[in-house]
Amino acid sequence: MKKEVLMFLSNGYADWENGYISAELNKPESEYKVSTVALTSDNVKSMGGFTVVPDYTLDSLPAQYEMLILIGGTGWNDNSAITPVIEKCLQESVPIAAICDATTFLAEHGYLDNIPHTGNSLDYLKQNAPNYKGGANYIEKQAVSSEYIITANGTASLEFAREVMKKLEGFPIETVEGWYKFFKDGFYQE
């Protein structure tokens, strides 16, 4: 049986931020599968206009899952209902991966104050997360992995996917790095 990874999507989620990691985790040979989560059972529409029927709501999550992935986008101002799920993950040592405005949400709620992290920029976090106190731990990198939280900026979907695969440990590191180099460099040098 495949290990489940939950991907939280809200209306206006950024399509490109989940593309690489969803495709890799859902490959037939992967030991993982991605299931989508939304606030309600209503369909979720991406920034690009794609409609997703969520597998779960916050009230119907499975008892066990390997990771919670929070995809950024334009809807993060209305997602405070996910806070208890984040708390549960941290209490049970379930990794969380956040990209783009999902990192801003984590910053606003204090989850990044004491760990190495990144986001869209330090100034962006300070401006859009008034309760954020983690500036001393901010790292100017595309993606940063701490013990239980991975963060990435909105242009880092490839680096985000690499950090998620490394954290899940179902992929040999050489395979992950080769995969990353292939998609980063492409077939031909520009």
Q: Which residues are catalytic?
A: 100
> CA-to-CA distance for 71 and 20, rounded, in angstroms?
12
Provide φ and ψ at 171, rounded to 5°: -130, 130
Give dist(CA 100, CA 156) in Å, integer. 8
Q: What is the CA radius of gyration of the chain?
A: 16
Provide the residue type at 35 as one letter: S
Q: Give the residue among 142, 133, 138, 131 at the shortest CA–CA distance from 80.
A: 131
Residues 6+ apart with CB under 8 A from 91: none
